[in-house]
C-alpha cells in the first residue's frame, strides 16, 4: 500500500504536487473567506432579516443598493469616515515621520524613548476609548486641563460638542497609532545606506537637499505602506470610537462601520446591511488597489 | 491490571453520571448586572434550599444587555433557561417564539395574573398588548423617577433665596416647570465650597438612554405614539405640538441644568454624578433607590419622588418580567422556579431584599408604604407608567429615536419638530417592512 502511494506520487508532476500542497489552504480560504463573501453578496439582493426566521425571503433585486446610495444619512456617514481617515492619516504621517527622524539620531536613552513612544499602540482600543472619556471630561479631565493651561478656553466638552467630537476621535487615534507609522518610517530610515549621504556631502549638498533628495524618497515607500495599513484599519474603525462617543453626539462621529453594525446586528436588517457591507468592501478594495498601484510606481522610481 | 482498569472505568462512569446529575439539577438565569440582580441571587438561595435545584446566573451590563440577550435568542441559544428580559422584548419574544407561553402553566398551578398589579401584567406579560396571552411573570416593577438632595432643600438660607426668586418653597416639584426652576437654581451654585449643578439626566446615545429620559418629559406632556383609534398612524400624534414642546423642554433641561460633560450619560453616570455631590437631582430607575438610600452619609439626605406631571401624570416604564426560554432543555425546572417565585411570601422577601415586587399582596400590605422612603413614589409611579413600543421590531424603532433625539438635544441639530418628523419617517419604514402599514 505504502509503496503504491510512493509510486503514484513519484509519477506526479511538480505542478500536481504543488496543487496537492495548496489545496487544503485553498479550501480553507474558500470556506471562511470567499464563501461568506458570495453569500453576503447574494443576501444583499434579498429582504432577509436574521431575526425573523419564519419570514419569507424575497428577492428584491437592486432595491437595497438603490436605497443605500439614495440615503442622505449614509452619505453623511461616508463623509464622516472620509474626514476621520484624512485627518488621522495626515497627522500620523507628519508626526510619525518627524518622530522617526528625531529618533534616528544617536543619543543616550534612544531605545528607552522608542519603547515609551510605542506604548499606546499596545493598548486595547476599547480600553483607550474608555480612559480617554475620562481625559476629555470637562470637569476633571487632564486633556482639558492641559489645553486650558496654555490658553484659557473656559469649559469645553470634547465629546458632547458636535464640532469638537470629530476632533476628539482624530486626536485619540493619532495618539494611539502614530507610533506605528513612526516605527515603520524608522525602519525605512535605518535602511538608507550611509554612503548616499557621504556622496551627497562630497557634492556639497546641504542638509535640506539631503533630506529632500535622499531621505524623503527612500522613506516614502515605507511611509506609504504604513498609511495603507492605517487607512484600511481606520476605514473599519469601530471599538475605540464606540467606547469614546458611541457615534455621538447625535451622529457626528458615527463612522460607516458603526452604522453598519447597528443595521446588521441591532436592527437585524441582514439583506440591507449585506448590501451596505458590499458597498463598503468595493470602496475600500477600489481605493486600496489604486493606492497600491501608485505606491509601486513611487517605489520603482 | 484488569481490576485497575475496571476501577478506572467505573470511576469515570460514576464521575460522568454524577456531573450529569448535578447538571440536570441546575438552571441558568440571565438578567442585567445591577443592584436588584444581587438581591435575586440572595433570594434564590431559598429556592435551591427547598428544591435542590442550583440556580446559576449570568448578568450582563446594561449597555450590552439587549445586544447579548437578543443575539442569544435569535441564535436559539440554550445558555439561559430563564430570562428576565426587558419589557420591550415581549413582542419579539412572543412573535418569534423565543418565550414559552405560560397560560396553561399558570392555570395548572393556580397562578393568577389578578394577583399582580394590573399595570405590570399589561406591561411585562402580555402580547398582543392587553390580551390574556402571558409570556412572562411580572418580576421587577420599575419606573423612571427622581432623587434629590433633601439636605440642601432643607437649608433655610437656600429656601428663602429660592422663594424670593420664584415665589414658592423649595420642595418636591409639582411639575416640570418647577423642576426646571429648582435645577437652574442649583446650576453653578457653590455649596460647601464645591460647585454644584442642577440635574443628572439621561443623555446616552448608544443603547436606550436618551429615549428613556426624553420620554419621561413627553409622557408628562401627554404624548401618544399613535392614533388610539388607528394603530400605527403617528402623524399628528407623535409630532403633535405638545410633544414638540416636551422635547424642547428636555433640551432646555440638558443645556441649563446638566453638569458639564453629561452628554452621554445613563444609569451609572447619573448615579456617579449624584454620588459625587455634583447635582441636586438625578433621574434614574427605582431599582437603584435602595442603594442610593443606603449610601446616604456625611449629612447627605436623599428624597425621592415620582416623575412630575405637566399636562398629565405619567412615568416612563422600566422593569421586566421573567420568562422561560423556549430553546432551553430544562423548561420544567425553569417553570418550577417561576412557580416558587410567584408565591406571596417569596414576593414579600423579594421586596425586603431590594427587589421590586409586583404582587398585590406586597404592594397592598399596610406596612408597604412605610417600608421605604421611596415606596409611596413607586406605588404612584406604577399606576401611571407608559412604555416605548413593545413591537417585535422595537430595536429598529429605538435606534432612529436615539439618533434623532440625541442629534437634537445634545448636538443641537435642527428643530424638535424636524427630529420628530424624521423619527416618524423611519418608523413608517419599519412598520411597512413589517407588514403593519
pLDDT at B22: 45
Mean pLDDT (10-residue bins), chain A, 301 residues: 65 88 94 93 93 85 95 94 97 96 89 92 93 92 94 90 95 97 95 92 91 92 94 94 92 95 91 96 93 88 73
- Span between the terminal Cα atoms of chain B, in Å: 76
Closest-CA residue to B309 (of B214, B175, B178, B219): B175
pLDDT at B5: 57
The ipTM of this complex is 0.85
pLDDT band at B8; cut points 50, 70, 90? low
B:176-215 residues touching chain A, CB 8 A cutoff: 204-206
Statement: residue B20 has pLDDT above 90: no
Q: Across-strand partners of B324?
A: B82
pLDDT in tens, A256-298: 999 999 999 888 899 999 999 999 999 999 999 999 999 888 8
pLDDT in tens, A188-197: 999 999 999 9
pLDDT in tens, B55-74: 999 999 998 899 899 989 98
- B146's enclosing H/E stretch is strand B144-149
CATH classification code of A63-300: 1.10.3720.10
Residues in A touching B414 (Cβ below 8 Å): none
Q: Across-strand partners of A46?
A: A59
Mean pLDDT of chain B: 92
Is B396–A249 a contact, with Cβ atoms under 8 angstroms apart? no
Statement: residue B315 has pLDDT above 60: yes
Report d(CA A129, CA A243) in Å as an integer. Answer: 5
CA distance B370 to chain A (A): 39
pLDDT at B252: 97
> Exposure of A148 by Cβ count < 10 A (0-12 exposed, 13-18 middle, 19+ buried)?
middle
Statement: residue B4 has pLDDT above 80: no
What are the DSSP E strand ranges found in chain A? Answer: none
Closest-CA residue to B360 (of B189, B53, B121): B121
pLDDT in tens, B365-389: 999 999 999 999 999 999 899 999 9
**A135: closest chain B residue by CA:** B261
Statement: residue B202 has pLDDT above 60: yes
Per DSSP, B286 falls in state G
For A250, the closest of B70, B278, B413 (CB atoms) is B413
Percentage of the residues of chain B whose pLDDT score is greater than 70: 95
pLDDT at A155: 86
CA distance A273 to chain B (A): 13
What fold characterizes domain B144-316+393-433? D-Maltodextrin-Binding Protein; domain 2 (3.40.190)
pLDDT at A298: 84
Mean pLDDT of chain A: 92
Residues in A touching B67 (Cβ below 8 Å): 265-266
Closest-CA residue to B397 (of B352, B362, B429): B429
Would you call the peptide bond into A249 cis, given omega within 30 degrees of 0 as the criterion?
Answer: yes
Domain locations in chain B as residue ranges: 27-142+318-386, 144-316+393-433
Sheet-wide strand order for B26-32: B54-60, B26-32, B82-86, B320-324, B137-140
Write out the residue limits of the CATH 1.10.3720.10 domain(s) in chain A: 63-300
For B96, the closest of A51, A157, A262 (CB atoms) is A51
Percentage of the residues of chain B whose pLDDT score is greater than 90: 86
pLDDT in tens, B338-367: 999 999 999 999 999 999 999 999 999 999
pLDDT in tens, A25-60: 999 999 999 999 999 999 999 999 988 877 889 999
Statement: residue B23 has pLDDT above 50: no
What fold characterizes domain B27-142+318-386? D-Maltodextrin-Binding Protein; domain 2 (3.40.190)
Q: Which residues contact B309 (CB under 8 A, 6 or more apart)?
A: B174, B175, B220
- Using the Cα atoms of residue B343, residue B386, residue B179 and residue B420 in order, give the sign of their dihedral: positive
Amino acid at each position: 500500500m505504502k509503496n503504491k502511494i510512493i509510486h503514484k506520487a513519484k509519477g506526479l508532476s511538480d505542478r500536481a504536487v504543488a496543487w496537492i500542497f495548496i489545496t487544503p489552504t485553498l479550501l480553507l480560504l474558500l470556506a471562511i473567506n470567499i464563501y461568506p463573501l458570495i453569500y453576503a453578496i447574494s443576501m444583499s439582493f434579498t429582504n432577509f432579516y436574521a431575526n425573523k426566521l419564519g419570514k419569507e425571503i424575497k428577492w428584491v433585486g437592486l432595491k437595497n443598493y438603490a436605497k443605500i446610495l439614495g440615503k442622505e444619512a449614509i452619505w453623511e456617514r461616508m463623509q464622516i469616515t472620509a474626514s476621520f481617515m484624512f485627518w488621522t492619516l495626515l497627522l500620523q504621517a507628519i508626526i510619525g515621520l518627524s518622530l522617526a527622524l528625531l529618533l534616528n539620531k544617536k543619543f543616550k536613552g534612544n531605545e528607552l524613548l522608542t519603547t515609551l513612544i510605542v506604548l499606546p499602540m499596545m493598548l486595547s482600543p476599547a480600553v483607550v476609548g474608555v480612559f480617554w472619556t475620562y481625559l476629555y471630561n470637562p470637569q476633571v479631565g487632564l486633556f482639558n486641563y492641559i489645553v486650558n493651561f496654555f490658553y484659557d478656553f473656559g469649559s469645553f466638552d470634547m465629546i458632547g460638542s458636535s464640532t469638537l467630537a470629530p476632533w476628539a476621535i482624530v486626536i485619540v487615534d493619532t495618539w494611539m497609532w502614530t507610533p506605528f507609522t513612526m516605527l515603520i518610517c524608522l525602519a525605512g530610515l535605518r535602511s538608507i545606506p550611509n554612503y548616499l549621504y557621504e556622496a551627497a556631502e562630497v557634492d556639497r549638498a546641504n542638509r535640506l537637499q539631503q533630506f529632500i533628495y535622499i531621505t524623503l524618497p527612500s522613506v516614502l515607500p515605507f511611509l506609504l505602506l504604513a498609511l495603507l495599513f492605517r487607512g484600511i484599519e481606520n476605514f473599519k474603525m469601530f471599538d475605540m470610537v464606540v467606547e469614546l462617543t458611541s457615534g455621538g453626539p447625535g451622529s457626528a462621529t458615527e463612522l460607516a462601520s458603526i452604522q453598519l453594525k447597528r443595521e446588521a446586528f441591532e436592527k437585524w436588517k441582514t439583506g440591507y446591511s449585506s448590501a451596505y457591507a458590499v458597498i463598503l468592501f468595493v470602496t475600500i478594495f477600489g481605493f486600496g488597489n489604486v493606492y497600491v498601484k501608485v505606491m509601486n510606481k513611487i517605489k520603482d522610481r | 491490571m484488569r481490576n485497575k482498569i475496571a476501577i478506572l472505568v467505573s470511576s469515570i462512569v460514576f464521575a460522568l453520571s454524577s456531573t450529569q446529575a448535578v447538571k440536570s439539577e441546575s438552571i441558568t438565569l440571565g438578567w442585567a448586572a445591577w443592584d436588584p440582580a444581587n438581591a435575586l441571587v440572595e433570594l434564590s438561595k431559598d429556592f435551591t434550599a427547598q428544591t435542590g435545584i442550583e440556580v446559576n446566573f449570568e448578568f450582563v451590563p446594561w449597555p450590552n444587555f439587549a445586544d447579548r440577550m437578543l443575539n442569544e435568542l435569535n441564535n436559539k441559544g440554550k445558555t439561559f433557561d430563564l430570562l428576565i428580559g426587558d419589557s420591550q422584548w415581549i413582542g419579539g419574544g412572543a412573535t418569534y417564539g423565543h418565550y414559552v407561553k405560560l397560560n396553561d402553566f399558570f392555570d395548572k398551578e393556580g397562578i393568577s395574573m389578578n394577583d399582580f398589579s394590573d399595570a405590570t401584567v399589561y406591561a411585562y406579560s402580555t402580547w398582543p398588548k392587553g390580551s390574556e396571552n402571558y409570556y412572562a411573570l411580572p418580576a421587577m416593577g420599575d419606573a423612571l423617577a427622581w432623587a434629590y438632595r433633601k439636605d440642601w432643600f432643607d437649608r433655610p438660607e437656600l429656601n428663602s433665596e429660592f422663594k424670593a426668586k420664584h415665589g414658592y418653597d423649595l420642595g418636591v416639584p409639582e411639575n416640570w416647570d418647577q423642576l426646571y426652576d429648582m435645577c437652574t437654581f442649583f446650576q453653578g451654585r457653590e455649596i460647601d465650597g464645591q460647585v454644584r449643578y442642577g440635574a443628572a439626566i439621561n443623555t446616552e446615545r448608544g443603547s436606550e438612554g436618551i429615549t428613556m429620559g426624553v420620554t419621561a418629559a413627553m409622557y408628562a406632556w401627554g404624548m401618544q405614539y399613535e392614533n388610539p383609534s388607528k394603530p400605527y398612524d403617528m402623524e399628528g400624534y407623535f409630532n403633535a405640538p405638545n410633544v414638540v414642546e416636551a422635547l424642547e423642554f428636555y433640551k432646555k433641561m440638558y443645556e441649563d441644568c446638566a453638569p458639564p460633560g453629561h452628554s452621554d450619560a445613563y444609569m451609572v453616570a447619573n448615579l456617579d454624578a449624584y454620588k459625587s455631590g455634583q447635582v441636586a437631582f438625578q433621574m434614574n430607575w427605582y431599582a437603584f433607590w435602595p442603594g442610593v438610600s443606603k449610601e446616604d452619609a456625611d449629612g447627605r439626605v436623599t428624597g425621592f419622588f415620582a416623575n412630575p406631571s405637566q399636562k398629565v401624570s405619567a412615568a416612563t416604564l422600566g422593569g421586566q418580567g421573567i420568562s422561560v426560554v423556549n430553546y432551553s432543555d430544562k423548561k420544567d425546572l425553569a417553570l418550577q422556579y417561576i412557580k416558587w417565585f410567584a408565591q406571596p411570601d417569596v414576593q414579600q422577601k423579594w421586596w425586603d431584599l431590594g427587589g421590586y415586587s409586583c404582587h398585590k399582596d406586597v404592594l397592598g400590605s399596610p406596612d408597604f408604604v412605610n417600608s421605604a422612603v421611596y415606596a409611596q413614589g413607586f406605588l404612584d409611579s406604577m399606576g401611571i407608567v407608559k412604555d416605548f413600543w413593545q413591537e417585535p421590531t422595537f430595536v429598529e424603532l429605538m435606534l432612529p429615536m436615539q439618533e434623532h433625539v440625541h442629534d437634537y438635544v445634545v448636538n443641537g441639530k435642527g428643530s424638535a419638530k424636524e427630529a420628530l418628523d424624521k423619527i416618524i419617517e423611519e418608523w413608517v419604514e419599519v412598520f411597512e417592512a413589517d407588514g403593519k402599514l
